[in-house]
């Protein structure tokens, strides 16, 4: 992990953050975007003292075994939560075999499990290296979806607000910040100034969250009541080419981001486990 | 296992007896006994390995005219000091060295009452002349390729890099073959640690023989499962020189017209010497064509199979109707058809490679006309599928260096696409990406300069910058070391 640059640090966590947004359930509106962005801003402010603590040469690995165990359990639970989101969302994105009985479900589960296990076994260094490439692919995908969304957007959708209340959406934004655990462990290993690294990450997170949520609102705002997964729906509605659909690109990025997010959590858990073993 | 590392016997007749015993009376070991300087001597050589003309001119003629000497030591001293029989004149004090020299084309002089032998390098074995490389042809660069003789290859490199910084260290590996290996590097460009690490790796070789690059590569690559080679090979001296200048280490093997270079980066597979001869914008265009060809070669059959089988909604209506029309008469499923076509191609390719060249034409006719045409006309294989397979195969030819990986990955992606559709392709893509990112050699990541990202490195990866810009960079691979 000693080669964790600020860009790798930001990209590896942002991939997980974006995936969580992909799996966002329920109605969203401009209020949601506002709530989420405020939530991220609060996190950024809270992270400053933590970054200053890191700057003094401290890190989670240097804490006691109890802290490490807590973080390890947290990573495993968050990996399970991400997997659950993956599984739920994949119902609206067609995965062959998933709907063909128990055998089909087991085969999809095994495939995901195998790939995640392989990625975890390859280690943190490999995951960090691949994060840059995956993030690049994701950026291209989001750019295509966003560009085509702009052409089909209905700006009247921004005004549509159903039952969303700012405090609720703010709380929802805070709840969806499960990757702060990864942030806490990785920040201690990132090269450079911890405060700068932290600010780069949160700035990028604010921009990407805004882009994704607003794209979803502009495209599927009108049909939000019948939409389970607004971000997925916006990808399905945003068709840049007159006769071909972009779903395939989204499906691929969704799957890659999904397994990558799970692998990040399991990799971090493995990393802390190794650190525990070294300590004992 | 015999140990021939024993001192040479002083007595000439005993010595000759021992040599005959070690060689098992092999017919090609020639022993010419004679007297010179009133000392009994014998000149040994291996038939076919020495130049007869050189031996007569440089060894026989001067050696028989030596005035009388009081003993063998004085005779050998006279030869060493006053006679320049060849430029390469090692000594052998044991039978292991003696036989290695003898079998390398040296003439070996032994004499009575002396416990060492003098050898003269007068090699003259038959060898292939320098020809154009068969697998790495180019348009604008040199047309010379490496040959089987290690010293010729060394001279090809030395001719291009006249700097004293270029170091070439020869050593032997292979208990039976005693193959000459040559480690080449620019001592001002390669970190000492990398050289010592590579030497350590090569020190672990305990093979009986070294007959191709495949015998050495596993020792200079990591032992972990890696799909792609982290040690490169080239048969072009100009490419080899460019790698040395970039701080890589090269290895020659005697008898092999390929050189190994360490470390290797993924982006190198897409670079050719012609890229630097053409205009930068054209080279950049060609480079991107190669990247696309790589993806097409691996993914096209899988994506076709996945979309047609599971995601037809991704196709526009015209394309969908066209495919439905073509596939409705095909007796096999699309995946089976694709596997069949690709397997047939691999069989034909292998047949074309292994068959005698005289039959090669017949193989092309049988494969192209009879199998291809007949399979489509009979409805056994659909035309779109054949087009897709042919496109994938043709794209693979653009990057011949990655042919093995492309072939296997094409099948792996096809099967994953057939089982799980685009989702399966994405999952396997993740696994392959992980494998590529995990590949490294002596701390040099295979994916550099993409990850770890190097902006300046992208000047010769994403694009091909102007040579004037590149000359200021003074690049070595050490920049990417992690």
Asked if the structure places residue B196 within a domain, the reply is yes
In chain B, the number of structural domains is: 3
Closest CA to B98 of B32, B168, B22, B170: B22
Give the pair of three-digit tokens for residue B279. Answer: 């205009």
CB-CB neighbours of B477 under 10 Å: 25
B455 contacts on A by Cβ (under 8 Å): none
User: Do the Cβ atoms of B399 and B269 come closer than 8 Å?
Assistant: yes
Mean pLDDT of chain B: 89
Residue B299 Cα, gap to closest chain A Cα (Å): 13
Residue A98 Cα, gap to closest chain B Cα (Å): 9
Residue B303 Cα, gap to closest chain A Cα (Å): 10
Model pLDDT for residues B33-47, shown as the tens digit of each residue: 999 888 999 999 998
With CA atoms as reference, the chain A residue closest to B317 would be A243
For residue B366, the model assigns a pLDDT of 75
Model pLDDT for residues A116-139, shown as the tens digit of each residue: 999 999 999 999 999 989 999 888
Asked if the structure places residue B136 within a domain, the reply is no
Query: What ranges do the domains of chain A cover?
Result: 6-279
Using beta carbons and an 8 Å cutoff, which residues of B are at the interface with A?
A: 307, 309-311, 313-318, 419-431, 433-438, 445, 447, 450-453, 482
Q: What is the mean pLDDT of residues B370-381?
A: 79
Asked if the structure places residue B49 within a domain, the reply is yes
Q: Which of A200-209, A258-267, B129-138 has the lowest mean pLDDT?
A: B129-138
Pair (B224, B285) in one structural domain: no
Which residues 6+ apart lie within 8 Å of A34 measured at CB? A166, A169
Q: Which of A52-56, B1-5, B402-406 has the lowest mean pLDDT?
A: B1-5
Phi and psi at B398, nearest 5°, equal -65, -30
Q: Which region, left, alpha or beta, applies to residue B38 given φ > 0 means left and ψ of -120 to 50 means alpha? A: left
Residue A107 Cα, gap to closest chain B Cα (Å): 9
Q: How confident is the model at residue B15 (pLDDT cuts 50, 70, 90)?
A: very high
Could you tell me which residues are beta bridge partners of residue B92?
B117
Pair (B22, B100) in one structural domain: yes
**Contacting A residues, span 65-84, partner chain B, CB-CB under 8 Å:** none
Could you tell me which residues are beta bridge partners of residue B184?
B168, B250
Q: How confident is the model at residue B159 (pLDDT cuts 50, 70, 90)?
A: very high
Residue ending a domain, among B255, B275, B295, is B275
State percent of chain B over pLDDT 70. Answer: 99
What size, in residues, is chain B? 482
Q: How confident is the model at residue B17 (pLDDT cuts 50, 70, 90)?
A: very high
Instruction: Say yes or no: A10 contacts chain B, CB-CB below 8 A.
Output: no
Residue ending a domain, among B228, B257, B275, is B275
Q: How confident is the model at residue B213 (pLDDT cuts 50, 70, 90)?
A: very high
Q: What is the mean pLDDT of residues B343-351?
A: 86
Please answer yes or no on whether B427 and A255 come within 8 Å at the CB atom: yes
C-alpha to C-alpha distance for A97 and B241, rounded to whole angstroms: 53
Model pLDDT for residues A23-78, shown as the tens digit of each residue: 888 888 888 888 888 889 988 998 999 999 988 888 888 888 899 999 999 999 99
Closest CA to B403 of B392, B414, B415, B418: B392
C-alpha to C-alpha distance for A183 and A187, rounded to whole angstroms: 6
Please answer yes or no on whether B427 and A96 come within 8 Å at the CB atom: no
For residue B318, the model assigns a pLDDT of 84
DSSP string, B107-168: EEEEETT-S-EEEEE-B----PPP---SSS--SSS------S-HHHHHHHHHHH---TTEEE
Pair (B408, B382) in one structural domain: yes
Pair (B296, B427) in one structural domain: yes
A232 contacts on B by Cβ (under 8 Å): none
Residue of A126 and B5 predicted with greater confidence: A126
B423 contacts on A by Cβ (under 8 Å): 90, 93, 95-96, 108, 251, 255
For residue B383, the model assigns a pLDDT of 87
C-alpha to C-alpha distance for B4 and B97, rounded to whole angstroms: 9
C-alpha to C-alpha distance for B109 and B16, rounded to whole angstroms: 11
For residue A103, the model assigns a pLDDT of 85
Q: What is the mean pLDDT of residues B52-66?
A: 84
Residue of A267 and A92 predicted with greater confidence: A267
Pair (B56, B156) in one structural domain: no
For residue B1, the model assigns a pLDDT of 53
Asked if the structure places residue B465 within a domain, the reply is no
Exposed, middle or buried: residue A260 (CB in 10 Å: 0-12, 13-18, 19+)?
A: buried
Phi and psi at B82, nearest 5°, equal -115, -5
In angstroms, how far is the first alpha carbon of chain B from the final one?
43
Q: How confident is the model at residue B413 (pLDDT cuts 50, 70, 90)?
A: very high
Please answer yes or no on whether B438 and A3 come within 8 Å at the CB atom: no
Please answer yes or no on whether A132 and B313 come within 8 Å at the CB atom: no
For residue B200, the model assigns a pLDDT of 95
Pair (B35, B104) in one structural domain: yes
Pair (B399, B283) in one structural domain: yes
- Between vectors from CA A267 to CA A263 and to CA A270, what angle results, nearest 5°? 140
Pair (B111, B163) in one structural domain: no
* Residue B264 belongs to domain spanning: 150-275
The SS3 of residue A100 is coil
With CA atoms as reference, the chain A residue closest to B314 would be A245
A108 contacts on B by Cβ (under 8 Å): 420, 423
Q: Which residue among A96, A122, A247 sits closest to B314, beta carbon to beta carbon?
A: A247
Q: Is the pLDDT of residue A243 over 60?
A: no
Instruction: Say yes or no: A103 contacts chain B, CB-CB below 8 A.
Output: no
Q: Is the pLDDT of residue B482 over 80?
A: yes
CB-CB neighbours of A89 under 10 Å: 20
Q: What is the mean pLDDT of residues B160-183?
A: 92
Q: Which residue among A125, A131, A259 sits closest to B427, beta carbon to beta carbon?
A: A259
Pair (B354, B433) in one structural domain: yes
Beta-strand relationship, B29-36 and B39-46: antiparallel
Q: How confident is the model at residue B25 (pLDDT cuts 50, 70, 90)?
A: confident
Residue of B139 and B199 predicted with greater confidence: B199
Pair (B327, B183) in one structural domain: no
Model pLDDT for residues A151-196, shown as the tens digit of each residue: 777 777 776 666 667 777 777 777 777 888 999 999 988 888 899 9
Please answer yes or no on whether A119 and B431 come within 8 Å at the CB atom: yes
Q: Is the pLDDT of residue B457 over 80?
A: yes
Q: Is the pLDDT of residue B283 over 60?
A: yes
Q: What is the mean pLDDT of residues B299-325?
A: 87
Q: What is the mean pLDDT of residues B327-333?
A: 83
Residue ending a domain, among B253, B275, B297, is B275
Closest CA to B243 of B9, B3, B7, B475: B475
Asked if the structure places residue B164 within a domain, the reply is yes
Residue with tokens 């492309």: B406
For residue B371, the model assigns a pLDDT of 72
Give the pair of three-digit tokens for residue A259. Answer: 């397994």
For residue B85, the model assigns a pLDDT of 76
For residue B169, the model assigns a pLDDT of 95
For residue B432, the model assigns a pLDDT of 96
Q: Is the pLDDT of residue A21 over 80?
A: yes
For residue B245, the model assigns a pLDDT of 94
Q: What is the mean pLDDT of residues B129-139?
A: 85
With CA atoms as reference, the chain B residue closest to A5 would be B452
C-alpha to C-alpha distance for B120 and B95, rounded to whole angstroms: 16
What Rg do the C-alpha atoms of chain B give, in angstroms?
29
Pair (B309, B359) in one structural domain: yes
């Amino acid at each position: 992990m000693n080669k964790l640059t600020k860009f790798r640090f930001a990209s590896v966590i942002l991939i997980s953050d974006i995936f969580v947004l992909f799996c966002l359930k329920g109605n969203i509106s401009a209020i949601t975007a506002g709530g989420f962005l405020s939530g991220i801003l609060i996190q950024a402010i809270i992270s400053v003292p933590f970054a200053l603590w890191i700057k003094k040469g401290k890190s989670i690995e240097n804490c006691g075994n109890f802290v490490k165990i807590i973080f390890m359990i947290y990573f495993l639970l968050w990996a399970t939560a991400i997997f659950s989101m993956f599984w739920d969302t994949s119902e609206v994105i067609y995965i062959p075999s998933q709907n063909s009985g128990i055998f089909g479900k087991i085969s999809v589960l095994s495939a995901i499990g195998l790939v995640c296990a392989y990625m975890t076994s390859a280690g943190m260094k490999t995951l960090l290296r691949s994060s840059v490439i995956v993030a690049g692919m994701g950026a291209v995908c989001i750019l295509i979806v966003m560009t085509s969304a702009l052409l089909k957007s209905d700006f009247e959708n921004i005004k549509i607000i159903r039952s969303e209340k700012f405090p609720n959406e703010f709380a929802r934004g805070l709840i969806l910040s499960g990757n702060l655990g990864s942030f806490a462990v990785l920040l201690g290993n990132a090269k450079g100034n911890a405060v700068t690294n932290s600010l780069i990450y949160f700035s990028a997170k604010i921009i990407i969250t805004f882009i994704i949520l607003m794209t979803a609102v502009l495209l599927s705002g009108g049909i939000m009541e019948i939409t389970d997964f607004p971000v997925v729906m916006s990808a399905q509605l945003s068709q840049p080419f007159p006769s071909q659909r972009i779903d395939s690109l989204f499906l691929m990025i969704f799957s890659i981001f999904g397994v990558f997010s799970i692998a990040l959590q399991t990799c971090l858990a493995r990393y802390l486990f190794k650190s525990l073993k070294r300590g004992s | 296992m015999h140990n021939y590392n024993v001192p040479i016997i002083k007595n000439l007749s005993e010595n000759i007896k021992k040599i005959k015993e070690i060689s098992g009376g092999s017919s090609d070991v020639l022993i010419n006994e004679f007297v010179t300087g009133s000392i009994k001597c014998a000149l040994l050589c291996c038939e076919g390995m020495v130049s007869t003309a050189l031996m007569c001119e440089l060894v026989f003629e001067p050696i028989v005219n030596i005035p009388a000497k009081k003993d063998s030591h004085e005779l050998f001293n006279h030869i060493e000091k006053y006679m320049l029989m060849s430029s390469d004149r090692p000594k052998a004090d044991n039978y292991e060295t003696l036989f290695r020299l003898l079998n390398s084309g040296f003439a070996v002089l032994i004499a009575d009452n002396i416990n060492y032998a003098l050898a003269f390098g007068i090699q003259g074995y038959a060898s292939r002349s320098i020809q154009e490389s068969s697998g790495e042809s180019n348009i604008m660069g040199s047309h010379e390729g490496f040959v089987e003789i290690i010293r010729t290859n060394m001279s090809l490199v030395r001719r291009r890099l006249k700097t004293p910084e270029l170091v070439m260290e020869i050593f032997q590996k292979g208990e039976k073959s005693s193959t000459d290996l040559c480690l080449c590097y620019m001592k001002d460009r390669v970190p000492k640690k990398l050289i010592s690490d590579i030497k350590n790796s090569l020190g672990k070789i305990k093979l009986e023989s070294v007959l191709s690059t495949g015998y050495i590569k596993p020792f200079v690559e990591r032992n972990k499962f890696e799909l792609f080679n982290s040690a490169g090979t080239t048969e072009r001296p100009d490419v080899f020189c460019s790698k040395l200048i970039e701080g890589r280490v090269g290895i020659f093997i005697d008898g092999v017209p390929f050189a190994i270079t360490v470390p290797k980066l993924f982006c190198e597979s897409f670079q050719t010497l012609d890229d630097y001869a053409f205009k930068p914008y054209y080279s950049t265009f060609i480079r991107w064509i190669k990247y696309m060809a790589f993806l097409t070669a691996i993914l096209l059959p899988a994506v076709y199979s996945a979309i047609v089988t599971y995601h037809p909604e991704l196709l526009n209506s015209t394309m969908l109707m066209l495919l439905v029309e073509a596939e409705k008469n095909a007796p096999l499923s699309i995946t089976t058809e694709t596997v069949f076509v690709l397997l047939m191609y691999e069989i034909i390719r292998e047949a074309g490679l292994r068959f005698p060249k005289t039959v090669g034409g017949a193989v092309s006719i049988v494969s192209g006309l009879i199998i291809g045409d007949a399979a489509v006309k009979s409805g056994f294989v659909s035309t779109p599928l054949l087009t897709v397979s042919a496109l994938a195969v043709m794209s693979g030819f653009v990057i011949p260096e990655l042919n093995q990986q492309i072939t296997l990955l094409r099948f792996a992606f096809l099967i994953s696409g057939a089982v799980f559709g685009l989702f399966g392709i994405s999952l396997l893509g993740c696994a392959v990406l992980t494998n590529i990112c995990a590949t490294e050699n002596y701390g040099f990541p295979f994916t550099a300069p993409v990850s770890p990202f190097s902006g300046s490195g992208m000047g010769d990866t994403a694009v091909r910058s102007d040579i004037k810009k590149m000359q200021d960079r003074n690049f070595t691979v050490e920049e990417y070391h992690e």
